[in-house]
A and B are shown apart, each in its own frame.
Chain A
Amino acid sequence: MNDKLQKIRQQFPILNCRVNDKPLVYLDNAATTQKPLSVIDRMTRYYMEENSNVHRGLHHLSQLGTAAFEESRRAFQKFLNSELAEEVIFTKGTTESINLLAFSFGEAFVHEGDEIIISVMEHHANIVPWQQLCARTGAVLKVVPVNDAGELEMEEYKKLLGPKVKLVSIAHVSNTLGTVNPVAEIIRLGHEAGARVHLDGAQAAAHVQVDVRALDVDFYSLSVHKMYGPMGVGILYGKAALLNAMPPWQTGGEMIDKVTFEKTTFGDLPYKFETGTPDVAGVLASVPALEFLQEVGWDFIAEREHALVKYATEKLAQIGGVSLVGTAKEKGGVVSFNIDGVHSSDAATIFDHFGVAVRSGHHCAQPIMARYGIIGTLRASFAVYNTEEEIDVLVKAIEKTVQMFG
C-alpha cells in the first residue's frame, strides 16, 4: 500500500472497525461512503459551539451560522463550477432533488401529451417521480434501452427525441452496472431536440469532476453522503433562468417574500426552493468533504478506482461460476456480479462473516434487473480508500460461498 493511500485510510476512523471478529472490508460505497475525521469533527464542532437556526436571528450565533451556510453554498458553486451561487439548491439528497425537480419543472413546463425520457438503468429515485408527474399531467414516459454490456442504446435515444420531449433525465453513472454514460452527447442531442436535460449524479459526483457549465447541463442532482460527506444533504443544481421560471415545491417559512391570508409572494432563488430548517450541521460539514476530494485529487481517484475495478474484474473472472453484470467500456467503481446457483442474499450472509460489506439485491433498480432477467446482484463498489488486499478478502469469501452452496 503506498503512502498516499495509507494517509487517506488513516483519515477514516471506521476503517479500523472489526466485524464478526474480522477487519471491516467496506465495499458498499455506492450506498454511502465512510466519512473522514474532518467531516465528523465539523459536525461535532457545530453542535458544540455554533448551533442556532440560520437565516432568521439577528443574534451572533445565527449570523455566524448563516454566513457559514452561504459559504458552503459557494463551495458547491465552485465544486460544480456553476455561474451563480443561487443556482445551488440545498436538499436532503438526490431523491429530494429529483422530487423537487419533477414537481416544479413539471408545473412550469410539462403538459398533457409531452414526453419525458429516462433510461432502463435508472435508480427508482429517477423513475418514480417522473411516473408520478406523468400520471398527474398526462405526459408520457419514454425509456432508453441498454445493450448487453449495460451501455445506453444511443441510436434508440436519438429516435425517442422529438418535439414533444420536455426533459431528459438520465444517470451520469449507473449504480448497478457502473456504466459511465456519454453525458456530453446526451445533453447535446437533448438540446438539439429542444429538451432540457437533468443528470442524476448520485453515483458520479465523488468519482469524476463535474463541471455543469462545461457540460451545459440544465439540472444536476447529487447526494453528499455518497461523497465522503454527511447524510441528509443533497444538491439540486439548476440554471437560474429555468429555476426562476419554476414555482416552489414545498412551501412554508423562510422561502416567502410576503404572506397575507389573501396571497403569498415567494422569495428569490435559492430560498424559494428551501423552506423549513435545513440540516445546517450537515451543510457545513459538507465543505470538508469537498476539501477531501480536492486534496486527494481527481487523477488519483480515477487511477485508484480503475485499478480496483480492473483487479476485481480479473480476480472474479478466475472464479468459476461468477458472472459479471455490466461490462461497459466506460465504467466507474462498481462491480456487480452473480454466483451461479447462489442467491445474492445467501452470499452476502456468508460475506458478512468475512467482514465484507457488499450490497445484495436489486439496488432499487428493478427495471434493469428485469432487463437482464435476474432478481438481483451482489455489488462491490469502491471508494478511494479501498485496497487490492480488501478485494482478496472478497475473493476468499466468494470461494468459500461457492464451496458451501455448490
Chain B
Amino acid sequence: MTEIKSCAETEAEIEDEFSLFDDWMDKYSYIIDLSKELPPLDEKYRNDQFLIKGCQSQVWLGAEYRDGRVYFQADSDAIITKGLIYLLIRLLSDRTPQEIIEAQLESLKRIGISDNLSPSRSNGFANMLKQMKMYALVFQTKEG
C-alpha cells in the first residue's frame, strides 16, 4: 500500500505545480486541463438532492464514509469550477473527518485563485468546500 500524502503535503504539491505559471491565463489553462482529470460522477449523485445551491454554476457533490475515511465525488457544468473541484477532491477526499474539518487550504489563496473561494452565495465552489466540511462533521458526529 502506498503511503497517502497528508493534506499539507498535497497542498505543497499543488502549489509547486502552479508555481510554474506566473500568468493568470496559464493558471486558468492549467485548471481547464485539470478539469479533464476529474473522475466521472456516479450518476446516482447527479440530481437535485446532491446539488449545491449557487447561482452561477451547478455543482453536484456526493460523499461516502468507509473505514473511518471520507470519499468525495463531484461534478460541475462549468469547466473552471470543475478544475477547482478536482483540486478540492485531491486535497480532501480519502481523509478522516478530522483532517477535512481542520483543512485550511491556505495554498489555494496563495495560488491566486482565492477569488473563487470567496464565500459568496452565488459561488457554488465556496459552497462546495463548506458542504464537504459539513459531510465530514456529520460523519464524525455519527461515529462519536
**Chain A interface (Cβ within 8 Å of chain B)?**
20, 342-346, 348-350, 352-353, 360-362, 375-376, 400, 404-405
- The one of A20, A345, A404, A405 in contact with B56, judged by C-beta atoms closer than 8 angstroms, is A345
Say whether, besides A404-B25, A404-B32, A346 and B78 are in contact (CB < 8 Å).
yes
Measured between C-beta atoms, what is the minimum distance from B1 to chain A in Å? 38
Per-residue interface assignment for chain B, residues 54 to 74, with 1 indicating a CB less than 8 Å from any chain A CB and 0 otherwise? 011110000000000000000
- The one of B25, B77, B78 in contact with A353, judged by C-beta atoms closer than 8 angstroms, is B25
Bound-state Cα–Cα, A361 to B79, Å = 15
Contact assessment for B80 and A345 in the assembled complex, using a CB-CB cutoff below 8 Å: yes
List 19 other contacts, CB 8 Å, given A346-B81, A353-B24, A362-B55: A342-B79, A343-B57, A343-B78, A343-B79, A343-B81, A345-B57, A345-B80, A346-B57, A346-B78, A348-B56, A353-B28, A360-B56, A361-B122, A376-B56, A400-B25, A404-B25, A404-B28, A405-B32, A405-B79
Residues of A within 8 A of B25 (CB): 353, 400, 404
Ordered by A's residue number, 5 sampled pairs between the chains whose C-beta atoms are within 8 Å are A343-B77, A345-B56, A346-B80, A349-B80, A361-B55
- Interface: B10 (CB within 8 A): no
Per-residue interface assignment for chain B, residues 15 to 35, with 1 indicating a CB less than 8 Å from any chain A CB and 0 otherwise? 000000000110011001000
Count A-B pairs with CB separation below 8 Å.
42
Residues of A within 8 A of B24 (CB): 20, 353
Residues of B within 8 A of A376 (CB): 56
Bound-state Cα–Cα, A375 to B78, Å = 11
Measured between C-beta atoms, what is the minimum distance from A205 to chain B in Å? 25
Top 4 closest pairs, chain A to chain B, by CB: A343-B78, A345-B56, A345-B57, A345-B78
Q: Which residue on chain A has the smallest CB distance to residue B77?
A: A343
Residues of B within 8 A of A375 (CB): 58, 77
Contact assessment for A404 and B116 in the assembled complex, using a CB-CB cutoff below 8 Å: no
Residues of A within 8 A of B81 (CB): 343, 345-346
User: In B1-48, which residues have CB < 8 Å from any A CB?
Assistant: 24-25, 28-29, 32
Q: Which residue on chain A has the smallest CB distance to residue B125?
A: A345
Contact assessment for B77 and A361 in the assembled complex, using a CB-CB cutoff below 8 Å: no
Q: Counting chain B CB atoms within 10 Å of each CB, which of A344, A346, A350, A352 scores highest?
A: A346
- The one of A346, A352, A362 in contact with B79, judged by C-beta atoms closer than 8 angstroms, is A346
Per-residue interface assignment for chain B, residues 96 to 110, with 1 indicating a CB less than 8 Å from any chain A CB and 0 otherwise? 000000000000000
Q: Counting chain A CB atoms within 10 Å of each CB, which of B28, B29, B122 scores highest?
A: B28
- The one of A342, A345, A404 in contact with B29, judged by C-beta atoms closer than 8 angstroms, is A404
Residues of A within 8 A of B77 (CB): 343, 375
Contact assessment for B116 and A349 in the assembled complex, using a CB-CB cutoff below 8 Å: yes
Residues of B within 8 A of A405 (CB): 32, 79
Q: Which residue on chain B has the smallest CB distance to residue A400?
A: B25
Q: Which residue on chain A has the smallest CB distance to residue B123?
A: A345
Q: Which residue on chain B has the smallest CB distance to residue A352?
A: B115
Q: Which residue on chain A has the smallest CB distance to residue B116?
A: A349
Measured between C-beta atoms, what is the minimum distance from B126 to chain A in Å? 13
Q: Which residue on chain A has the smallest CB distance to residue B115?
A: A352
Q: Which residue on chain B has the smallest CB distance to residue A364?
A: B55
Say whether, besides A345-B78, A345-B80, A350 and B56 are in contact (CB < 8 Å).
no
Bound-state Cα–Cα, A251 to B28, Å = 53
